[in-house]
Chain A
Amino acid sequence: KQEVTQIPAALSVPEGENLVLNCSFTDSAIYNLQWFRQDPGKGLTSLLLIQSSQREQTSGRLNASLDKSSGRSTLYIAASQPGDSATYLCAVSSNYQLIWGAGTKLIIKP
């Protein structure tokens, strides 16, 4: 049974710092892995999608990596800004379903 874990559950850092969010999964047989952003009171925003054959994806200040063999993905945020404050979720597509992590609540302090 696929399980997705995100560490840490919460993170607070000063503005301008580079940071890494972690996502681990137990079954390496995945179709893809996605990172999402969730703002309070709003719908979900898709950030990056990594296919199982890919190692990383980049979008602006965001870089996501995927290591299937170790069951890990990281989301790297460069030069963090207060507007990056949100909950970040990773989800693994496995066996025709999305398995969700619990999320990391990120607070960027001005």
Chain B
Amino acid sequence: GAVVSQHPSRVICKSGTSVKIECRSLDFQATTMFWYRQFPKQSLMLMATSNEGSKATYEQGVEKDKFLINHASLTLSTLTVTSAHPEDSSFYICSARGTSGGATDTQYFGPGTRLTVL
């Protein structure tokens, strides 16, 4: 089946630094990727939807200048948390929607990245 990977799986950084999280579709092409965030003991929340080659669409309340999303190719999307602060500590999950090879219109989810900002 289709596989989505995320890197890194865990990251600890100092306040004020920027952190980049990668999301890759390993065996299929994904025109659309979704980024989610989950705080401890809370449900998953959609942050933004990104389409390859165009600007991401952010959900209400998500700062686009703080969470930079780049979807430069059909297999890679990146989320950069700029000037991270402790309140950005969360679990970030991406998903990718395929375009062909049996993956059309089905979302496949990555294992997540746990970010801790000190």
Contact = CB atoms under 8 A, between A and B. Distances in A.
A85 to B, nearest CB: 15
Interface string B59-101: 0000000000000000000000000000000010101000000
Contact of A44 (B1, B36, B91): B36
Chain A interface size, under 10 / 10 to 19 / 20 to 34 / 35 or more = 10 to 19
A99 interface: yes
Interface in B35-56: 36, 41-46, 49
A89 B9 CA distance: 21
A98 B95 CA distance: 12
A46 B44 contact: yes
A100 interface: yes
B105 A40 contact: yes
Contacts of B1: 102
A97 B41 contact: no
A10 to B, nearest CB: 13
Contacts, number: 45
B10 interface: yes
A49 B43 contact: yes
B43 A46 contact: yes
A97 B9 CA distance: 8
14 contacts: A32-B41, A34-B43, A34-B44, A36-B44, A43-B34, A43-B36, A43-B49, A44-B34, A44-B46, A44-B95, A46-B43, A46-B44, A49-B41, A98-B93
